[in-house]
Structure formats: C-alpha cells, structure tokens
Structure 1
Amino acid sequence: LKGLFMKTSWLGAAVLLPLLSACDAYSSIKVDSVQVSSEQANAIKTNIQTLYPDITLQEQQAIADVAVKAIENLVFVEGGSFDMGDFKAPCEIPSRTFERIDWSPENDCYSGPSAMLSGGGFIHKVTLDAYSIAKYETTYADMEVMRKVSGLPLADQNLDGTPRDRDSKEFKERLKKLNTYAAFTKTWQDAKNYCQWLGDITALPFDLPTEAQWEYAACSRGQNLYFATNNGYLQLEGGSYYNPETGYWVDYQDEEVNAPKRLTNVDAFPPNPLGVYGMSNQVAEWVNDWYAKDYYQHSPKHNPQGPESGTEKVQRDGSGVTMTFSRLHSSDYDRYRVGVSFRCAVQQTASVML
C-alpha cells in the first residue's frame, strides 16, 4: 500500500507528461472556473488526454468536470495545535439529549464507549501543518466517472450481492437518485485509489486525509464541539431538548432543524464553522492511517501518520456521541457499503486556490 506522501511531485508530473499540440490538448476539453488557473487547467486537459487518449470526448469532459469540482470544493485548513482525543462530556447532560451537549473543563465522563474500546480516550497534543480538505464527501457519481474510465466495475451491487449492470436502464435511473450521495466503498483501497487518481488528473498531491487532519477539520481547528454542524448541535427534525432554566422541553422549529433523520445527500447537513460538510452525518469515512488501539499514547506530536503497518484502517464518524467523533476501525468488507465513504485532501501547505 502506498504511503501518504509517496507521490511524484505535482510539478514534476506535469512536466514529464508528453506535450500535445495546443489544438489537440486545449481546444476540446472545456475548463470554466474562476478558481482554477489557466496553467492548472491546461495541466488537467493534458493529463486527461495523455492518460485516456482512446475514450470519448464526453468521457474526457466528465473527468475534467470532476477534477475541477474537486479543486473548487477544497477548504484550506491553516495549521495549528489541538488536543486530539475524547475531550470528555458531562456525566449528566443538562439538555437530556446527546445531540445537544456543551463543553466545560469540568466534564469528566467519556462521551461514549468508543473512546475506551478504540483507544480514543487518550488526549494528546498534536500540531499539524496546513493542508486542504474536501468540503464534501466524494459523491457516488464522481467516483463512478473514475471507475468507468478506468475499466472498473460499479462500486455497487444488487440486494442479492450480484453486480449491477452499468448499461442497464435500472442503473441509469438509480444514478440519478444517488448522484449526490456519498460514494460506496468495499475497501480502504477504493478510497485511496480515487484520491490518488485525482492527483494523477490534477497534478496536485491529492490523497486521503490523516486521522489527525480529519479530526482537526471536524472540530474546526480544534474547537470543543461535539458535532460538525453550524452550531455544534444536531437539531433533528421532530426533535426536542430539555431547558433546565424553565423546566420545559423545547421543540425545534423548522428553521432550527440542521440535521435530517436519515442519510441523504453529502450537503444535507449545514457546514461546520470551518466550512466542511457532512462530518456528523451517518457515514463513516476512511482515513489514511493504519489502526492501533494504543497509537494515541505514543504518536508523534507533529503531523502523525498512524502506525507503520497493521491489519485494519481507521474510519472516523460523527453520527453519534461516541468519542466526540467516533474512532472506528475495519478491514475490507465483502460488499460495497452505503454508509462507508471518504473525502480527499491535498497534502501541501499552500492553498491551491487562486
């Protein structure tokens, strides 16, 4: 498995690609974006035509659209230090609901059993360099573009486990429904391959975020927030909370609801203060790190990358209060999972935006 930083320099990658004539390389594929420089746009076009010379112009354009969107949807995260791990919750929650918790230095109970079971309860200081992370999870439709042009089967299956037919009418209708759902994965490598494919197309160091990068972004650069929403709460449709000052339960009004009851689109939840969506939805996300229960106790303070080897990969999830943002771990699955996805990051300290 490739390491996080074992990629060719993006400048070098662009230079080494064969040069095409201006007419062939730049006139057919369209890149229309105020956030992508002309040099970056030309690199994308050249890379597509070099890597996929035999596919249709429509397919080449689909790749370009995915690549440009991936760049436009990046959120630049300034580096800094934070306390990584379960920063504790009150033993008795005043609102009487896990979806509405306020942090206090007096909190001394774990926020859920995951903290103890996964080794996430050990708070430790981490300092990260700047990086960029996708504001959305990778969508089903975007990953399908990569899989189709790469000759890979659908990342999907029928209920009985048989593979779906990409050319069937049923799948085309299904694709419309799943267009902005988080991509399905069966293995960590599915996620890794997609992010590195974006790197091949854009000549930028796309990869999976590290576990520390994921948590730092979810907590808006280390704030003590229990959910990655606009206000740190999950205000569910039809939900309510107890107000200890009045002694009454309060129902959320329609305009206060910030979380649907079930999985929908990658942008269904409002962004956190950093501008990142969906880190407290019902989807677990692969990160780059191998899993070890005791890793937090001896991880490096600067840019931790996870253990050097292992048998499982870390997943992070913010759908419930278990270790603030749950620390999960898994090996490969036997089928593509609807609730297991990922988002990509760019591993460079400078912003890629104009």
Structure 2
Amino acid sequence: MKNKTFWIFGLLTLSIISITYGYTKFLHVSKKEAAVQECHETPNLSDSSEFKPTIENKNKPTGKTPKGMVWIPGGEFSMGSNVEDESLCSIKGVTKDAAPIHRVYVDGYYMDETEVTNEEFEKFVKATGYVTVAEQKPTKKEFPTANEEDLITGSVVFTPTSSAVNLNNFLQWWRYEPGADWRHPEGPQSSIKGKDKYPVVHVVYEDAEAYAKWAGKRLPTEAEWEFAARGGKSGNLYAWGNDLKPKGKFQANIYQGHFPIKDGDTGEDGFKGIAPTKQYAPNAYGLYDIAGNVWEWVHDWYSVDYYKSLAESDKITRNPQGPDAYYDPNDTAEIKRVHRGGSFLCTDQYCTRYMVGTRGKGEIRSAANHVGFRCVKNK
C-alpha cells in the first residue's frame, strides 16, 4: 500500500474544516513562552461605532410555531465583526473575512432551537434510507492516485497530541479514521447509544441539505444565522453579551486549557468534548448552542471578500443569499461553504470563532466530528 499514507493525508487535508489557518504560535511550553503569548478575556476591537441599532420587524406569524423551532422576527441589523485578532492570544488578522461591518435586512423565519440531534437525524435515515457521504466508499474519480484497497469509508476525528506542539500544522491533531461516521463518531468501535440529544456530526453540506429538504425546511443563509445569533442585540461579542464568562460561568461548550494536548481540556465549562444540546442558557431568541459545541453549515458559498462587496454597494442588502461562487485566493483547490458558531474545539489559543460575527468555512464534501447544522423554515 505504497500510496496509503499519501491518500489518507490527501483526504485529511480536504476534511479539516474551518481551522486551516496556518498559525505559527506555540502552546505554553515553558514559563518564558507563556509570558510571550499574551492572552486576554477581551479581544482587540476596531471602532464599535460601526454597529448601528438592530431594527426588528414587528409582524408576527399567525400560525402555530413548528415543534422544536422558535420565531426569528428578522429586520435590519449590522452584520460582521470588528474583532481584529483571530484569538484572545493576539493571533493577528485572520478575522478580516468578517469585515467590514455592513447593514443587512432579512425577512422573518422559524429556526431550530437546537442543532439537529442524533435522534432527529436517525428518524430521517430510517424514513428515507439515506446514506451520508462519510458512509460512502470514496471513488477513483475523487482520488485517482489512490490504490483500490485504500478507498475506504471514514471521516476525520480530532486526536489530541501527546505533548505541546506548534500550532502551524493542524495535521498533528486530526486523523482520518476508517469507519467514522454519524453513527460512530470516534470510529467503528464507538456509537451514539445513549446520545440521542447530542448534535449529529460527520455530516457534509449535502447531508445537511438532504435532511432539511426531508424535514420541510432549509439551511439558513449566513445573514439569517447571524441575525438569529445576535438575538436582537447590536455589536455584542457573543450571543449572550460582551463578557465571555458572566458571573464567572461559561455560556457555551468551548475548549479551556492547553490545546491540543491529551487531557489538556480542563472542562471548566462542564464538558470535555461534545455536549448534549440545551446545556446552557438560550440566547434572547430562544436558541441553544448558537455558539460552541459544533460548527453549523449554512447556505452560502464562502468568499473571502463577500462582505467587502456588500459594503461597497452602500445600500442595505435585502435577504442576501451569499456570493455566486466560492472564492479564496489562498486555497483555490477546495470548494467551500460557510460554517458558523465555532465548536467544542474553539480555544483562546487558536480559534475564537464562537464570537458571534466571525466566520468559518468547510469543503462541501468533507466531514468531521465537530461539524453539524440546524435548519430554518419560512413562515
């Protein structure tokens, strides 16, 4: 199997979602290095006056709210982020794709109050016989250089390192795991038994879209997602306010401790790894886990300069559907759509994209154990 290593790492590269930022920071290896790496509970911000008040629609739906969903009124708001650093440890410049802040209007809609759970996804699979991409054997067309025996089902799983590592190489803490899928999130020996209320993971964009269609729903646009996450508030850092830990308590399932070392997650927020839904207070619109736990697929293609193009129009953009195509000059090989919300692996040392206006991105046919989704429905 001389091509096995090449093929698996090729697929792994495709499958690392939303975190391929090429950082050069180090973890806390020594007291000297720890002193150099400045971490703060408040990020560096540009001018907050860029945010204008949110103007919610006053119209309310006349029908009954669908089970498990909440009403999002829609309206006009300031979209984007004025956070200057990628992390609270002063990694510079990576949130530029979430700038500039611009005005957007969205119509009202219903939104799932939680990420889609294993229980809900299982009902879909039983009703339709659907097979996720992670459960499908890769083809020679997708990976022409791979040997046939190397074309095996699987997905990408976070794997902590044995010691502190340089954060500029994400391949150190991810592995392609044969047999990993939504039913077996850590590999073939794992299961979701007893985890009905956990968010489903190892789903790619087309899996999420297929579920949404079956459920009579759709994936939210990026603008709809952010309007809902902000909960009617303007310019807050987080879905719950501007303090990471109000009254000393975490409000989302994110990573605390030394990333990505084995046993490095202290679980100060109550969980080490993924958590069941509804473990933290909802935001002002009644949405749970809109930050942390798992990344969420949204409808829009990812384009690094999309916000710039909207801002340059100097108009309020109504119900934006995203750019016409994917665009990232730093990575032209992979076709990506937007992720939102961050995950249980987001850490102040590496990725703080649980901040409400920031963005992620994912290759459309790649899955991992920190990516899920939620749906919306027109009134």
TM-score category (smaller protein): 0.5 to 0.7
Question: If the length of structure 1 is used for normalisation, what is the TM-score?
Answer: 0.57
Matched AA of 1:141: E
Q: Quick one: distance in 2 between partners of 1:186 and 1:280?
A: 18
Who is 1:140 aligned against? Answer: 118
Percent identical pairs in the alignment equals 28
2:104 is equivalent to residue 126 of structure 1: yes
Q: Quick one: distance in 2 between partners of 1:179 and 1:112?
A: 39
Q: Deviations over 1:209-265 (max 9, x none)?
A: 000010111111243222224x5544399979xxxxxxxxxxxxxxxx876454211
SS in 2 for 1:298: helix
Q: Quick one: distance in 1 between partners of 2:103 and 2:91?
A: 19
Q: Quick one: distance in 1 between partners of 2:98 and 2:182?
A: 41
Question: Which stretches in structure 1 are left out of the alignment for 5+ residues?
Answer: 1-36, 41-69, 92-96, 100-109, 200-205, 241-256, 349-354
CA shift in 2, pair 1:193/1:153, >3 Å: closer
Give the drift of 1:151. Answer: 1.5
Who is 2:284 aligned against? Answer: 273
* Aligned equivalent of 1:302, options 318, 322, 325: 318
Q: Which has the higher helix share?
A: 1
Who is 1:74 aligned against? Answer: 69
CA shift in 2, pair 1:111/1:86, >3 Å: farther
Q: Quick one: distance in 1 between partners of 2:181 and 2:103?
A: 46
Contact 2:114 2:278 in 1 (8 A): yes
SS in 2 for 1:195: helix
Give the drift of 1:268. Answer: 1.8
Matched AA of 2:325: S
Please list, as runs of the form range in 1=range in 2, the aligned pairs for 1:92-111 lying within 5 A after superposition: none
Matched AA of 1:303: N
SS in 1 for 2:76: strand
Contact 2:79 2:357 in 1 (8 A): no
Give the drift of 1:163. Answer: 6.2
Q: Deviations over 1:99-140 (max 9, x none)?
A: 9xxxxxxxxxx9974312xx1121101111111111100001
Q: Quick one: distance in 2 between partners of 1:165 and 1:86?
A: 32
Contact 2:296 2:371 in 1 (8 A): yes
CA shift in 2, pair 1:175/1:326, >3 Å: same
Please list, as runs of the form range in 1=range in 2, the aligned pairs for 1:1-354 lying within 5 A after superposition: 71-88=66-83, 113-116=93-96, 119-153=97-131, 160-162=177-179, 174-199=191-216, 206-229=217-240, 231-235=241-245, 260=271, 262-299=273-310, 301-310=317-326, 311-319=335-343, 321-322=352-353, 324-334=356-366, 336-348=367-379
Aligned residues: 237
Question: Which stretches in structure 2 are left out of the alignment for 5+ residues?
Answer: 1-62, 136-153, 158-176, 251-267, 311-315, 327-334, 347-351
Q: Quick one: distance in 2 between partners of 1:150 and 1:306?
A: 30
Question: If the length of structure 2 is used for normalisation, what is the TM-score?
Answer: 0.54
Q: Quick one: distance in 1 between partners of 2:239 and 2:336?
A: 25
- What is the root-mean-square deviation of aligned Cα atoms in Å? 3.8
Q: Quick one: distance in 2 between partners of 1:171 and 1:78?
A: 43
Give the drift of 1:179. Answer: 0.9
Matched AA of 1:84: M
SS in 2 for 1:152: coil
Q: Quick one: distance in 2 between partners of 1:342 and 1:71?
A: 18
Structure with higher Rg: it is 1
CA shift in 2, pair 1:259/1:85, >3 Å: farther
